[in-house]
Structure 1
Amino acid sequence: MNYILFDGPVRNNLLPFTFTRPVGEIRIGIMTIKEKWEAYLKNSISYLTEDYLNVKYPLVIAEENILINASVLPDESLLEAIANLKHHQALIQNNTVIAYTTESVVQNSDMSGFDTITYERDIFQIEYTWDIFSKNAEALQADFDFITRGRKSQPISDTNKTIHPERIFFEEGAKVEYSILNATDGPIYIGKNAEIWEGSLIRGGLALCNNATIKMGGKLYGATTIGPFSKVCGEVSNSVIFGYSSKGHEGYLGNAVLGEWCNIGADSNNSNLKNNYAKVRLWNYATEKFEQTGLQFCGLMMGDHSKTAINTMFNTGTVIGVNSNIYVPGFPRNFIPSFSWGGASGFSTYMPEKAFEAAEVMMARRNVKFDQTEADILNHVFELTKRWRKY
C-alpha cells in the first residue's frame, strides 16, 4: 500500500510554519509527524501539499493509496483502524477526515462517494500553532515510549546527578557531563550525538534531538523539544524548536515555537503571561485576525529564517512570519508579517535577495546548501504575504 500525508483544512491555522513545509514536517514531541507515521507504519510516506512545495516534498502515487490527515498523530488503535480500511472507505470523526483509500489522489472534505466509517476513540490532532507547545508533553511521552520500547539507554556519566534515571534515555554518541537531569515530571531523551554542556539544569520532559546542543548553564523544563542541529542556552520553558535554529545565549523563551534557521539574539526575551492574567489571543492567518487560544500562557511563534538582535523583547502572544529581522529596542507589535525588517519604531520590507544572502551563510555553517528550491519556496512566500506588509 502507498501512504500519503495530506495537509487538510487546518493547514492555514498552522501558518507561518506551513508556509515553508507540509503539515507533516511539523516537529512535536521527539519526531516530526511524518517520522511518527513512518515509524508506526514501517513504510515511507510522501506528501499531498501545496503546489509550490512539491519540488522539495514530492508526491508519490500508486494504483491504490491511503491518504492520512497529517494533522492527526498515530497510535496503535488508529493504525489498526486505518489498516482495516477497504477500497473507497474513509475513516472520519465528527468533521475530521482521518484517512481514506483511493486511486484518485485528491484532497476530499465531504467524502461523497466514499463508504464512511466513524472512528470512536479519541484522536491526537494538531489544529493550531499553539497546540505544538501546549500538547508537546503528551507527544513527547508517546514518542519516548515508542522509541525506547525494548531498548537500553547508553550509559549516563556518573558526573551527572539524575532523578528517575529509568525515564532518561541516551542514544549513541550522546554526551552529558556535570548536569542535573530530573525526569520526575516527564522523560528526558538525548538524541544521537547530542550534547549538554556542564552546569545545565534539566527538568523533563525534554527531547534534545540528534546533534543538538544545550550550552553551559542551560535551564530547560516544561516539555521542551530542541530539534536537530539546534543550539540553546539560557532559560527555555515548554517550547518547541523544529531544528537548525539557535538561541545560544541568556534570555527567556517560554510557551513558544520556532521554525528552522531562526536565531535569537543574546538576552532576548518573550513574555508568555499578560499582566492581567487574561487568556491570550494570537494572530491566525486563516481568519486574518487575533483568535482566542484559551491559554493563559502563550509566548512566541516564529517562522523559518527569522532572527532577532540582542536584547529584543516580545509581548505575550507574538507571531512572526518567515524571514523577518527584528533588531531595534522596545516591544514590536504582536504580529510581524514575513519579510519584515525593523522593530518597535517601524518596519520596512526585507527584500528576498538580501534575506537569501543571510540564509546562504547561516545554512552553510550547518553544512546545508541554500539552493534554488529553497529560494523558489521563499520567493513564493514573499508574494503570498505581500498583503500583510503595509510598507
Structure 2
Amino acid sequence: MAKYVAIFEDANFADFFPLTLSRPVWGLRFGIGILAERIIRVFPEHKPLLFCRPEVAFVGEGLGAVNMDWPKDCEELVLVNGRALWPEKLKSFLPAGAGVVKDSETVVAARMVKDWEKLKLSPAGFEVNKAVSGLPEKKSADMLANFLWDLVLQNAQAIADDFEHLAKGKNDKKMFKEVEVDNQAVIKNLEQTYLSPGCKLDAYTILDASGGPIWLDKGVTVQAFSRIEGPAYIGEQSQLVRSNLRGGCSLGPGCRIGGELESSIVQGWTNKYHSGFIGHAFLGEWINLGAMTTNSDLKNDYGPIKVIRDGKEFSTGQMKVGSFIGDHTKTGIGTLLNTGIQIGFSANLYGGTLFEQKLIPSFSWGKPDRMVPYKVDKAIEVAKAVKTRRGKKLTDSEEKLFKQIFEQTKKQREALQKNN
C-alpha cells in the first residue's frame, strides 16, 4: 500500500488569467520552482498525483501522474489545493488523522484515510467540498493565492523559504569547483548564495545577497555589469545581459534578461534582452519584449491599482502592480504598458507608445488605437519558428491549445474592436 498527495486545480483558475490560459494554476512559478513542485517537496513520502483541466494536462508531464484514475494501492490520500502558497506550514497544520483545512469555505488541504474513492473529477477540478464533508475541520487564512499579484507580492518570502529548505548542507568549497567565477566578480553574503554546476560569473558582476538569498540554477550565465539583488532565483540556462535585478525576482529556465527587473516572476523561455523596466509583473513563457519596453507599476497619486476582472474594474488593494503577460506575446520597441495591464496569449503590440487599455485580449495585433485579430495559423507558424531557434518543438498538444484559446477569447477581441 502507498501514500499519495493529490494536487488539484479548483474553479478559481480563471482569476489567474492570462497565465492560466496555457497552464494549470499549480504550474505557476513561485519562489524556487512552480507551485506543484513546492508541494511535492514537502511530501517526499507521498507519490504525486495532479489534476487539472484536460487541455492543459500536458504541462504536468514529468511531475507525476496527471488526471489518472485513483490508484488501487492507496492507503492514505492528502489533497492539496494547487493555489497553496506555504506547503510546509500547511503540512504541519494538517490533522494527524483524517481532517480538512479550509480558508473560509474553500478547501486548502485534507487528509483522507478512508472514503477517498468518493472523489469525482469535474472540468474545474475535484468536487472536494462534497468529498470532505463530515471530516473534522480546521480554519486557516492566507494559505492560498487568489490572484497573480498575490504571487508577485509574496515571491521574495517564498524564495527565502525555499532556499532555507534546499540549501541545507551547502558546501562552498565543492560549489566553486563546479562553476566559473571571475576574480573581479563580487559576491556579498556567500552564506546566502548558491551557484549550481555550470554557472558562470563574468568580471564586474555583483551578486548581493545581503537582503535575501540568491539561487542560480544549472548553467546560468551572468554577463559583465550585471547586478542581482536577493532574494532572487535564476532558472537553468538563463542569461543575464547587463541587467539590474532588484529583490523578489524569479526567472524560469532559458530566459535572456537585460535592463531592469524588479519584484517580478518570469515563467520561462522569455527574452527581455534590452534596456527597459519591468516591475511587479508576472510574465509567461516564449515572450519577446522589444527594446525599451517598460511597464508602469505605480500611480502618480500612490493609490491602489485597478485591473479588469469579469469585464469590470477591480481594485487590487496594492500600491504597486505592473503587467501580466500571457505566453507567446511580443512587443515592439518603445512599448509602454499601463499599471495593472493584462495582455493575453499570443498578442503582438507595437507603435512605440502607451497602451492605456487595462486588458488586451489574446491574439490581438496592432497599436493602441487600432487592434485587429492575429490569425491563429500565423501565430502557430511564428511560435514554431521561435521554439526551433531554441532547439525546441511546438507539440501537437500546444498547437491544439493555440486554437482552443483563440476560440475561447473570440468575444474579448470582438468587444475590443467595437471600442477602437
Matched with 2:279 is 254
CA RMSD between the two structures? 1.9
Bigger mean CA offset, 105-114 vs 365-374: 105-114
Q: CA deviation at 1:120?
A: 5.2
SS at match of 1:158: coil
Partners of 2:132 and 2:282 in 1: CA distance? 39
Q: CA deviation at 1:159?
A: 2.1
1:10 corresponds to 2:41: no
Q: Deviations over 1:218-271 (max 9, x none)?
A: 111121111111110001111100101110111111111100111111111111
Q: Quick one: which of 112, 116, 122 aligns to 2:135?
A: 116
Aligned ranges 1:30-49 → 2 under 5 Å: 30-42=32-44, 43-49=46-52
Partners of 2:53 and 2:266 in 1: CA distance? 23
Q: Deviations over 1:313-358 (max 9, x none)?
A: 1111111010101012321222100110012121000111000011
State TM-score, norm by structure 1: 0.93
Q: Quick one: which of 57, 78, 92 aligns to 1:66?
A: 78
Matched with 1:191 is 217
Aligned residues of 2:304 and 2:315 also touching (Cα < 8 A): yes
Aligned residues of 1:90 and 1:111 also touching (Cα < 8 A): no
Matched with 1:322 is 345
1:357 corresponds to 2:367: no
Identity, % of aligned positions: 27
SS at match of 1:140: helix
Partners of 2:109 and 2:148 in 1: CA distance? 22
- CA change 1:85–1:263 in 2 (3 A) is farther
Matched with 1:90 is 100
Bigger mean CA offset, 258-267 vs 61-70: 61-70
Aligned residues of 1:92 and 1:116 also touching (Cα < 8 A): no
- CA change 1:164–1:138 in 2 (3 A) is same
Matched with 2:167 is 148
Q: Quick one: which of 342, 347, 351 aligns to 2:366?
A: 342
- CA change 1:373–1:160 in 2 (3 A) is same
Aligned residues of 2:254 and 2:269 also touching (Cα < 8 A): yes
Matched with 2:407 is 383
Q: CA deviation at 1:74?
A: 4.1
SS at match of 1:250: coil
Q: Quick one: which of 354, 364, 367 aligns to 1:331?
A: 354
Partners of 2:331 and 2:225 in 1: CA distance? 26
Q: CA deviation at 1:109?
A: 5.0
Partners of 1:36 and 1:56 in 2: CA distance? 16
State TM-score, norm by structure 2: 0.87
What is the number of residues matched between the two proteins? 386
Q: CA deviation at 1:169?
A: 0.9
Partners of 2:109 and 2:225 in 1: CA distance? 47
Partners of 1:113 and 1:177 in 2: CA distance? 54
SS at match of 1:305: coil
Q: Deviations over 1:343-376 (max 9, x none)?
A: 2121000111000011101111222210211011
Gaps of at least 5 residues in structure 2 are 61-65
Aligned ranges 1:141-290 → 2 under 5 Å: 141-153=160-172, 154-155=175-176, 157-178=182-203, 179-215=205-241, 217-284=242-309, 287-290=310-313
- CA change 1:310–1:77 in 2 (3 A) is closer
Gaps of at least 5 residues in structure 1 are none
Partners of 1:229 and 1:85 in 2: CA distance? 42
Aligned residues of 1:71 and 1:126 also touching (Cα < 8 A): yes
Q: Deviations over 1:153-195 (max 9, x none)?
A: 4225532222222111111111112211211221111111111
Partners of 1:354 and 1:327 in 2: CA distance? 17
Aligned residues of 2:198 and 2:220 also touching (Cα < 8 A): yes
SS at match of 1:41: coil
Partners of 1:44 and 1:192 in 2: CA distance? 26
